[in-house]
Amino acid sequence: MKLERVLPMKNLRRKPARTAALVLLSAFLALSVFGGSVMVLSLRNGLKSYESRLGADIVAVPYQARTKGSFESILLQGIPGMFYMDEKYYNKICAIDGVEAAAPQFYLASTSAGCCSVPVQIIGFDPERDFTVQPWVRERYAGELGDGDIIVGSELTVPKDGTLTFYDTPCRIVAQLGKTGTGLDTAVYTNMSTIKAMMRSAESLGFHYLTDVDPDHAVSAVMIRVAEGYDAEAVTGDINVHVRHVEASAAAAMLSSVAGGLRSVSGVIVLLVAAVWVLAAAVLSIAFALISHERAKEFAVLRVLGASRNMLSRLLLAEAAIVSFSGAAIGASAAALIVFPFGKAISAAMELPYLMPPLGTVLAIGAASLLLSTVAGALSAALSAWRVSRNDAGLLLREGA
């Protein structure tokens, strides 16, 4: 039994180049399984988060914002954007039959100039009318959002003094929101009076973002909740017909577009992982078959020394398990070094919400990846091990001659 425990490692060390190649193949298998699984789950979590944070049945923005895709860019990618319409359009939307509640929002992008601490998307909302941002805010902050107060997304760094300045307007950070995996993680939230004060200050500094609309009577978007018994698609159509220069979109349609992209990306990842698994298993099977044939004489000598057929089989399987587990550990670690630090970059590249699963889930995926890769290696060597156990010493000696 002692010999059986020592021989696998000695055999692997005796052929370092061959062992390294097998470990690398197993590592690639684990990297694809672990990395692909985490990415697919992160994309699905991101979609759920995007759906919950949207919080409205319909979103209405100025027509030019919809045609340029500015609103989706803010939500999904965190790309700062600004677009405005007169407040009268908000009032017209409120008068549409089937609109139960409407909450205006005002968007302002800060700059990298000295008047601003950091270039971000600033979103102003009315706490009294809002029903989309407030539920999210209440998870972290129960107080009133006063003038000059701001709430920042999870990706922003909070200074030690707890303040940020936008267009020479100092603001006090009262809370930091939880992670969503969307562009909202880099945004700043404040009430309408504060963001309008920022806009006036920006104009005094020479940033003329509004030319034909009064900042005090402007809105960027209207979040709409449909009354019970009304169809969101029908109300969306009524808004687009009766409120000119405004483009309304049902949240379900926006989510469907994102979900379609997610399904496409997820499908590609799953297919790639499956293809890598099958290819790696096939290559490992061929490799172990060639190795067992190459070592025919070695196996014959071991049989002459008293090793049983089952022992030779276990020896080959043990070597395969060691190689597969070592490679799987390396591959899973490499995948973690890719998907964890570069999650934001991955999200930006795919233009989809991306929210990492909890640590416990990640660890479970890692353990499953290790097991799957190790089993794949052991199964790949199983046929060779079976053939070795079926041959007698004389045959092995003739094969090794």
Mean pLDDT lowest for which of 37-41, 169-173, 225-229, 376-380?
A: 376-380
Is residue 232 within 8 A of residue 252, CB to CB? The reply is yes
What's the whole-model pTM score? 0.70
> Are 276 and 392 found together in one domain?
yes
In which residue are the tokens 């060779």 written?
Answer: 384
> Are 285 and 331 found together in one domain?
yes
Distances 324 to 13, 186, 191 between C-alpha atoms, Å: 15, 41, 57
Confidence of residue 147 (pLDDT cuts 50, 70, 90): very high
> Are 162 and 286 found together in one domain?
no
Give me the number of domains the chain comprises. Answer: 2
Share of the chain above pLDDT 70, in %: 81
Q: Of 228, 250, 272, which residue constitutes the final position of a domain?
A: 250
Tens of pLDDT, residues 275-292: 877 777 777 777 777 776
The predicted structure's pLDDT at residue 152: 95
> Are 227 and 315 found together in one domain?
no
Confidence of residue 148 (pLDDT cuts 50, 70, 90): very high
> Are 109 and 243 found together in one domain?
yes
> Are 194 and 180 found together in one domain?
yes
More confident residue, 24 or 252: 24
Q: Of 220, 250, 280, which residue constitutes the final position of a domain?
A: 250
The predicted structure's pLDDT at residue 103: 94
Which residue range(s) make up the domain with 142? Answer: 55-250
| Token output for 159 | 């200074």
> Are 38 and 114 found together in one domain?
no
Confidence of residue 400 (pLDDT cuts 50, 70, 90): very low
Tens of pLDDT, residues 186-219: 899 999 999 999 999 999 898 888 777 788 889 9
Strand partners, 121: 109, 187
> Are 31 and 103 found together in one domain?
no
Tens of pLDDT, residues 340-360: 887 777 776 776 777 888 888
Q: Of 193, 226, 250, which residue constitutes the final position of a domain?
A: 250
Average pLDDT over residues 321-331: 85
> Are 113 and 226 found together in one domain?
yes
* HSE of 355, CA atoms in CB hemisphere, 13 A: 22
* HSE of 130, CA atoms in CB hemisphere, 13 A: 23
> Are 203 and 291 found together in one domain?
no
Tens of pLDDT, residues 59-77: 999 987 765 556 767 776 6
Average pLDDT over residues 214-236: 91
More confident residue, 254 or 396: 254
> Are 181 and 130 found together in one domain?
yes
> Are 337 and 227 found together in one domain?
no
Residue 323 has pLDDT above 50, yes or no: yes
What is the residue-averaged pLDDT of the chain?
81
